[in-house]
């Protein structure tokens, strides 16, 4: 993949492709995706998992604490980008740390959150407070 702007140490993003911590994904013709060279049909949506995670926090009384959506870069964050949850323009606001990418002000399920992409998040999807503590 050709280098493009926006890009950083841990990411490279174009309109229809993304590389996050070495995991790559690309939108293909006909609504299919290729994730790290494995053809995956677009039905592998993150929206249901994210919605359920947020709903569980609200039911537990933690709705007001949700400030971050944390995603594993190896699969979940790549799929979230491929299905349109993150855009190339969102990465213009990206801030990188040694082991994370933070993208502030992303609308997720009606909330404005920071999306934190991590190279390894065992649960794949989590919500967290402003300090990054998983709820």
Strand partners, 35: 25, 38
| Threshold 0.85, pTM exceeds | yes
Q: How many domains does the chain have?
A: 1
* Cα gap 118→111, rounded to integer Å: 20
Q: Give pLDDT tens digits for 80-94.
A: 998 889 999 999 999
Q: Give the residue numbers spanning the domain of 107.
A: 11-128
Contact 18, 78 (CB under 8 A): yes
- Any domain includes 135: no
- Above 60 in pLDDT, residue 6? no
- Any domain includes 22: yes
- Any domain includes 3: no
* Cα gap 134→121, rounded to integer Å: 11
Q: How sure is the predictor about 1, in pLDDT bands with cuts at 50, 70 and 90?
A: very low
- Any domain includes 53: yes
Q: What is the pLDDT of residue 34?
A: 83
């Amino acid at each position: 993949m050709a280098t493009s702007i926006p890009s950083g140490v841990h990411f490279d993003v174009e309109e229809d492709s993304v590389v996050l911590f070495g995991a790559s994904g690309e939108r293909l013709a006909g609504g299919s995706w290729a994730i790290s060279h494995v053809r995956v049909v677009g039905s592998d949506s993150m929206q249901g998992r994210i919605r359920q995670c947020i709903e569980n926090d609200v039911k537990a009384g933690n709705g007001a604490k949700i400030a971050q959506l944390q995603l594993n870069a190896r699969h979940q964050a790549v799929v979230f980008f491929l299905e349109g949850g993150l855009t190339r323009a969102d990465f213009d606001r990206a801030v990188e740390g040694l082991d994370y990418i933070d993208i502030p002000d992303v609308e997720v399920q009606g909330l404005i959150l920071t999306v934190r992409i991590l190279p390894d998040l065992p649960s794949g999807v989590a919500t967290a407070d402003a300090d990054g503590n998983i709820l």
